[in-house]
């Protein structure tokens, strides 16, 4: 019997991983909002490969009855949607890790990982719901059941998220969610897993905000009225947030042709009296080194 939280912990660390396009981000969004509306405190952190498209993505969702402000190295529950699990996740698996995966996808990949593997037919249930694309929502249903989320909450969120799609897409997603919850009921009946995080009613009225939006709100509060950026994850969210609110807050927004142009535009705007900002990520910052040096000598 696996019981979570483990003795000495007040939280559950859940990691979901899969190939780009398998819906890892969608599952995270649905679960995080569902958990908050259920009264839990939540902290989520994403990882994705440094490439334009493809690769393996993952997200850690830390759930607690108390406030959580960071992720932890520990993995209590690992839910891989496909094989090819990255080394940085494998090394975090311990004897206390419960791995809920599809033997059809993983085969013997995690046989020597040190964790306890329980086969759950995610792919099969996804196909039953309409196709492999629904496997991620099946996983969301399984996790919702494990964490005691009332089913009507993720159902409502799925309807909202796919409201612009056809009724068939909405129905298939709801069916996938129910099939995932059915997998949880089978696990519960077997007596192998028990998750009890007491947190109902404590966080349901609080704001859920991501890092990009928080940075953007801080910039607006500080008087930012110019942003020039070249889209690059994870900083693209700052650019799009500022663009959405540019008219209401008087912000000039420029999507530059590259990072070098972006930082030099910001320098020019600053010289002209604007309170300017640039958003970028690691590779983009490398391209901005000369612009940063120019800012230094100009100052």
Q: Residue 278 sits in a domain of what CATH number?
A: 3.40.50.970
Number of Cβ within a 10 Å radius of residue 28: 22
pLDDT tier for residue 270 given thresholds of 50, 70 and 90: very high
Mean of pLDDT values over 35-49: 87
- Whole-number mean pLDDT of the chain? 89
pLDDT of 198 reads: 64
Kindly state whether residue 206 falls inside one of the protein's structural domains: no
Same domain, 245 and 289: yes
Burial level of 34, CB count in 10 A (0-12/13-18/19+)? buried
Cβ atoms of residues 12 and 50 within 8 Å = no
Kindly state whether residue 11 falls inside one of the protein's structural domains: yes
> Which residues, listed in sequence order, are joined to residue 56 by a DSSP beta bridge?
19
Mean of pLDDT values over 222-245: 95
pLDDT of 207 reads: 81
Mean of pLDDT values over 79-86: 87
Same domain, 135 and 58: yes
As a whole-number percent, the residues of the chain with pLDDT over 90 amount to 62
3-state SS, the chain, equals CEEECCCCCCEEEEEEEEECCCCHHHHHHHHHHHHHHCCCEEEEEEECCCCCCCCEEEEEEEEECCCCCCCCCCCCEEEECCCCCCHHHHCCCCCCCEEEECHHHHCCCCCCCCCEEEECCHHHHHHHHCCHHHHHHHHHHHHHHHCCCCCHHHHHHHHHHCCCCCHHHHHHHHHHHHHHHHHHHHHHHHCCEEECCCCCCCCCCCCCCCHHHHHHHHHHHCCCCEEEECCCCCCHHHHHHHHHCHHHHCCEEEECCCHHHHHHHHHHHHHCCCCEECCCCHHHHHHCHHHHHHHHHHC
Burial level of 281, CB count in 10 A (0-12/13-18/19+)? middle
Kindly state whether residue 299 falls inside one of the protein's structural domains: no
186 or 83, higher pLDDT: 186
Query: Domain boundary at 137, 160, 195, which?
Result: 195
Read off the tokens for 224.
């930012």
Query: Is the omega angle on the peptide bond into residue 5 within 30 degrees of 0, that is, cis?
Result: yes
Same domain, 183 and 231: no
pLDDT of 179 reads: 97
Q: How far apart are CA 136 and CA 80, in angstroms?
A: 10
Q: What is the CA radius of gyration of the chain?
A: 22
Same domain, 127 and 23: yes
Same domain, 78 and 185: yes
**Is residue 260 pLDDT above 90, yes or no?**
yes
Look-up: residue for tokens 């690769």? 55
Instruction: Quick: pLDDT tens for 89-144.
Output: 989 999 889 999 988 888 777 777 788 888 999 999 999 999 988 999 999 999 99
Same domain, 62 and 142: yes
Instruction: Quick: pLDDT tens for 125-139.
Output: 999 999 988 999 999
Q: How far apart are CA 201 and CA 194, in angstroms?
A: 21
Same domain, 54 and 191: yes
**Is residue 277 pLDDT above 90, yes or no?**
yes
pLDDT tier for residue 51 given thresholds of 50, 70 and 90: low
pLDDT of 30 reads: 93
What total of structural domains would you count in the chain? 2
The model's pTM: 0.83
pLDDT of 134 reads: 92
Q: Would you say how long the chain is, in residues?
A: 299
Q: Which domain holds residue 175?
A: 2-195
Look-up: residue for tokens 């996804």? 126
Q: Give the range among 86-100, 216-230, 265-279 with minimum mean pLDDT.
A: 86-100
Q: How far apart are CA 75 and CA 277, in angstroms?
A: 37
Query: Domain boundary at 138, 164, 195, which?
Result: 195
Same domain, 150 and 230: no
Same domain, 140 and 115: yes
pLDDT of 202 reads: 67
Same domain, 50 and 177: yes
Same domain, 7 and 129: yes
pLDDT of 82 reads: 86
Instruction: Quick: pLDDT tens for 177-217.
Output: 999 999 999 998 888 787 777 655 566 677 888 999 999 99
Same domain, 246 and 170: no
Query: Domain boundary at 150, 169, 195, which?
Result: 195
pLDDT tier for residue 156 given thresholds of 50, 70 and 90: very high
């Amino acid at each position: 019997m696996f019981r979570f939280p483990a003795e000495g912990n007040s939280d559950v660390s859940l990691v979901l991983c899969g190939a780009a396009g398998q819906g890892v981000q969608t599952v995270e969004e649905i679960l995080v909002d569902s958990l908050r509306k259920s009264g839990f405190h939540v902290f989520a952190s994403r990882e994705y490969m440094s490439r334009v498209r493809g690769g393996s993505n993952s997200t850690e969702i830390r759930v607690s009855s108390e406030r959580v402000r960071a992720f932890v190295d520990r993995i209590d529950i690992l839910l891989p949607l496909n094989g090819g699990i990255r080394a940085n996740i494998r090394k975090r698996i311990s004897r206390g890790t419960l791995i809920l995966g599809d033997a059809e996808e993983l085969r013997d990949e995690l046989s020597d990982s040190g964790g306890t593997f329980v086969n759950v037919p995610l792919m099969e249930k996804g196909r039953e719901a309409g196709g492999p694309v629904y496997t991620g929502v099946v996983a969301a249903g399984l996790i919702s059941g494990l964490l005691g989320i009332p089913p009507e909450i993720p159902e409502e969120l799925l309807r909202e998220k796919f409201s612009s799609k056809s009724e068939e897409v909405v129905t298939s997603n709801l069916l996938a969610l129910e099939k995932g919850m059915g997998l949880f009921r089978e696990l519960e009946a077997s007596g192998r897993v028990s998750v009890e995080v007491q947190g109902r009613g404590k966080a349901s009225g609080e704001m859920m905000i991501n890092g990009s939006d928080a940075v953007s709100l801080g910039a607006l509060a500080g008087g930012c009225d110019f942003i020039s950026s070249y889209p690059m994850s994870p900083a693209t969210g700052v650019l799009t947030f500022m663009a959405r609110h540019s008219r209401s807050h008087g912000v000039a927004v420029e999507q530059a042709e590259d990072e070098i142009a972006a930082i030099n535009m910001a320098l020019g705007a600053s010289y002209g009296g604007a309170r300017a900002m640039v958003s970028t990520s690691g590779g983009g910052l490398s391209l901005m080194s000369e612009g940063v040096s120019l800012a230094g000598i100009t100052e």
